[in-house]
Amino acid sequence: MIQPLAYIHPEAKIARNVVVEPFAMIHKDVEIDEGTWVGSHAVINEGARIGKNCRIFPGAVVSAIPQDLKYNDEYTLTFIGDNTTIREYATISRGTEQHWKTEVGSNCLVMAYAHIAHDCVVGNNCIIGNNVQMAGHVHVGDWAIVSAISAIHQFVKIGTHVFISGGSLVRKDIPPFTKAAREPISYAGINSVGLRRRGYTNEKITEIQNVYRYIYMKGLNNAEALNLIELELPASDERDEIVNFIRTSERGIMKGPHQVSTSEATE
């Protein structure tokens, strides 16, 4: 299943039924699990750990050294989960000593020309659109969709089930279950379409909407809103996930549509 014109380092560990097309390059200290397909001119660098049934399209580069001047050739890794597709010319850097690895989960789609930088953690079932540029140490929750040509600042956290519109500049954390749009990026409602597709009931969607009314619609600061949410709304996994995400945010969360100042709009 390995074409004779492909380069496979003798120390690479390749499962028996992996397909490697002509002119692909697989370096040493690479592990590729069964059922994965590696297209022509894809490059899999040292430290890559690639799961089952992945598809890596021509020109993609996985586990290149970080684009970080502090990187000092330390031993780091890149993990790609099962059933993940990496399209043409996408690039995924391996980690640095701050986290030691970059991770992309299972059942993800990383579209053409996207970049996932060092030490990022992308959850399961995520879609990273064409030309998304993700700086280092970004965390993306399960089921998130980042639309094309978006740029994500380093250390940003994106919650589960988030939808980010195309061309967004993401400088702040994006709380779970929300849609993020406009410039500067701001709250555009909850991701009700995505939630329904994943089996959330209308009652559960209404519950999530009620939580965000406290955050974005009542004129409260975050501390006041979170205290009232815990006091007035019944506990649930979704309520607690939102509250914990906002409480632990280090960069601060995106603002509501009526909270963006003139100075922020012109940055």
Q: In what order do the strands lie in the sheet with 77-80?
A: 13-14, 31-32, 48-50, 77-80, 101-104, 121-122, 139-140, 157-158
Catalytic residue, candidates 47, 95, 105, 136: 136
Task: Report how far residue 180's alpha carbon sits from residue 191's, in angstroms, rounded to the nearest whole number.
Answer: 9
CB 158 within 8 A of CB 152: yes
Report the Cα–Cα distance between both ends of the chain, in Å, rounded: 52
Which residues lie closer than 8 Å to 172 by C-beta, 6 or more apart?
A: 156, 185, 251, 252, 253, 254, 255
Does the annotation mark 136 as catalytic?
yes
194 given a catalytic annotation: no
Per the structure block, which two tokens stand in for 123?
A: 């959850």
Please indicate whether residue 47 is annotated as part of the active site. no
Of these residues, 118, 129, 141, 161, which one is catalytic?
Answer: 118
Q: Are 6 and 24 in contact (CB under 8 A)?
A: yes
What is the Cα gyration radius of the chain? Answer: 20
Which residue in 82, 119, 142, 173 is the catalytic one? 119
Task: Please list the alpha-helical segments (H only) found in the chain.
Answer: 192-197, 202-216, 222-232, 237-247, 262-265
Secondary structure (3-state) at 184 = coil
Active site residues: 118-119, 136
